[in-house]
Structure 1
């Protein structure tokens, strides 16, 4: 008698486990397809405003990227938890100091403003740090991702991944090459 209930329970458990596994795989497939579509849309964007990304400064005030239209803009999507992001920042800071007359560097994160402020102050970076309330990693895909925008905010260069292994002079030449 006990064996009969054991077999029923075992069969029921296997059926429920299979249903749960198939449902989980279906959900993961759906999420990955959605994220790939978002990343494709970002990759195909020709103008930064097409990303429709509301931004705020670290005090919570809205940021309009057009306020930087007098310069070229390096936009870097990053996170304090992202080791390649953190490792490339010293080189970005050095080039930012050298090219401030022509460029503004805007660092965009979806982290808490206090986390970003603490990181910025600890490291002494003077980039423009802003945040998005969107979940950037699902939108962007890979951190860091960097765009260079011309003065009309058109995306003229995109790089997925870090610049950390790039020769600083090569990075500077890349930035200068974008200026028309």
Structure 2
């Protein structure tokens, strides 16, 4: 059988589409195109109006979000079934490993601990994860996941990203170092 140029291009096209649909390849592709998010200009930053938010710890103690006042906070909304969420998790874990003692990390999911625990075990993650038990502060609400917010010590949102990002970038690390001074 002789392949024509058109047949070869059709086969290549089908293989590429197949790879993008196959979940492990999809996550890898998303990871490749994820960039570091941008810092919000000072004059455009929104401050949290209320910290009244209760979180039930799944692999950590439950907390009242009011206890994060005066701290730099990293909040991430995610789910195990979400390819962009899975794509950014390795960079988040590396960031968490280096900053967990200086920043309040809050990972929020509406899934149960069995599902999340299996996902964490399979991938060697140990991020402090919560279910929300009360209303999320208005400024942190999102209709899509992943959604990530970095708050400064005054409660201003200095960085936010909806969609996958490289959270272990030099830019994010420089911002965090500046915020925790």
Question: Could you tell me the TM-score, scaled by structure 1's length?
Answer: 0.59
How many equivalent pairs are there? Answer: 133
Q: Is the 8 A contact 1:48 1:154 kept in 2?
A: no
Return the offset for 1:56.
0.7
- Higher gyration radius (CA): 1
Return the offset for 1:174.
3.5
Q: Is the 8 A contact 1:156 1:178 kept in 2?
A: no
Question: Structure 2 matches for 1:84-163, cutoff 5 A?
Answer: 84-132=84-132, 139-163=141-165
The alignment's C-alpha RMSD in Å is 3.2
2-side partners of 1:157 and 1:169: how far apart? Answer: 14
Q: Which has the higher contact order (CA 8 A, sep 6+)?
A: 2
Question: For the structure 1 residues 104 and 62, does the alpha-carbon distance in structure 2 shift closer, same or farther, using more than 3 Å as the test?
Answer: closer
Stretches of structure 2 lacking an aligned partner (at least 5 in a row):
1-44
Q: Note the alpha carbon deviations across 1:81-137, whole angstroms, 9 max, x for none.
A: 11111111111111222223322321101112221222222222222111125799x
Q: Is the 8 A contact 1:71 1:150 kept in 2?
A: yes
Q: Which residue of 1 aligns with 2:174?
A: 173
1-side partners of 2:86 and 2:135: how far apart? Answer: 19
Return the offset for 1:161.
1.5
Question: Could you tell me the TM-score, scaled by structure 2's length?
Answer: 0.59
